[in-house]
Amino acid sequence: MMYNMWMLEKSGDPGQLHFFTAVFSAILLCLHGCTTGGTTQEESSAAGRTGSMNSKSEMVALVDGVPITMEEARFMIDGGEPTAGEAVDALVDNELLAAEAIRRGWGKADEVEFERTKALAARLLRRVGEETTAKDVDLDEIKKRYSEQKKRFVHGPLRKVIHAVVLTGKKGMASDEARSAAREIAVATAGVMDGAGFEAEVKALEKKYGWKVKVESLPPFERNDDRFVAAFVDAAYDIGGPGGISPAFETKFGWHVIMMLEDLPPSDISFEEARGILAEEILPGVRQRRAAELIDKLVKEASVFIHDKNLGAGTP
């Protein structure tokens, strides 16, 4: 069964989830591991299968006396099964296969319990994420993000361009050779339809002649933007309109050719207007912190001892 866990969806950091799950699994094993001794393989597996879901959930199937609930079906749907019927079919298949594995002696109690523990840990972490919403993001953190990204929300007209620079200097070409290459790029790219076409033309010439060329699609910038050298900004704003190509010009980086892509309107988005956008962007980090805080709390409250000697002996 696959679980569509919020950590993977939002943070994009599987390693973080694996760490949380591993630590929390260790906690659960320390708290509950002593209670599994003395049970049979079948008893442990059955307890895991029938006890892992809410017993009050509506039963949708019964497989050799083991109930399958609507809650389990919803988990399968979240994991990728398209319909409730297909989710139930998959659950029935899983139950039959699990029972057969146990019958053949392949469902060792410790393996079953370990997988169940991991599932419980993952489910708790997911629930912590679901219960943490944009409303839980600290207002001061949102204000700080808005202040740091003010130009993103408040700016004048912007120009978006793509450019090619024939590099000069120690890692590039001689200035006169770079100038000739840039002029040829300007001629070859005149009339191309978009940024992709511009890049394709430049890359074809680079491959043909072995030039040292870098192609960049830059973030939109204002007429007075000081992130770029003045000559570059001036050349970009001298282009008449979308699709226009600048003549070759030189900066300390090399010889450039710019294609103008589009002009964007000015923006004056207030903090209150941007607050919801920023809260949603910050939310994944808040969820990770809350999961980490829960784990830290459980570690402090539990009696956990790592047997370093045994651990060292058991690793290759």
Domain boundary among 63, 97, 131: 131
Q: Is 108 within a domain?
A: yes
pLDDT at 314: 61
pLDDT at 315: 61
- Is residue 1 within 8 A of residue 74, CB to CB? The reply is no
In this structure, the answer to whether residues 75 and 180 fall within a common structural domain is no
Alpha-carbon separation of residue 49 from 6, 54, 63, 161, 312 (angstroms): 23, 11, 11, 58, 34
Residue 308: count of CB within 10 angstroms of its CB: 8
Q: Is 224 within a domain?
A: yes
In this structure, the answer to whether residues 122 and 50 fall within a common structural domain is yes
In this structure, the answer to whether residues 126 and 13 fall within a common structural domain is yes
List pLDDT tens digits, range 249-278.
Answer: 999 999 999 999 999 999 999 999 999 999
Q: Is 285 within a domain?
A: no
Q: Is 194 within a domain?
A: yes
List pLDDT tens digits, range 155-193.
Answer: 999 999 999 999 999 889 999 999 999 999 999 999 899
Q: Is 71 within a domain?
A: yes
In this structure, the answer to whether residues 89 and 174 fall within a common structural domain is no
Three-state DSSP state, 266: coil
Number of domains in the chain: 2
Predicted TM-score (pTM) above 0.85: no
- Which amino acid, one-letter code, is at 201? E
pLDDT at 166: 98
CATH number of the structural domain spanning residue 221: 3.10.50.40
Domain boundary among 131, 165, 198: 131
Residues in Cβ contact with 17 at an 8 Å cutoff, skipping those fewer than 6 apart: 5, 7, 8, 11, 122, 125
Q: Is 186 within a domain?
A: yes
Q: Which residues of the chain have pLDDT under 50?
A: 1-55
What is the domain extent for residue 89?
6-131
In this structure, the answer to whether residues 121 and 166 fall within a common structural domain is no
Q: Is 251 within a domain?
A: yes
Domain boundary among 265, 288, 308: 265
- Scanning the structure block, which residue is given the tokens 């002696």? 105
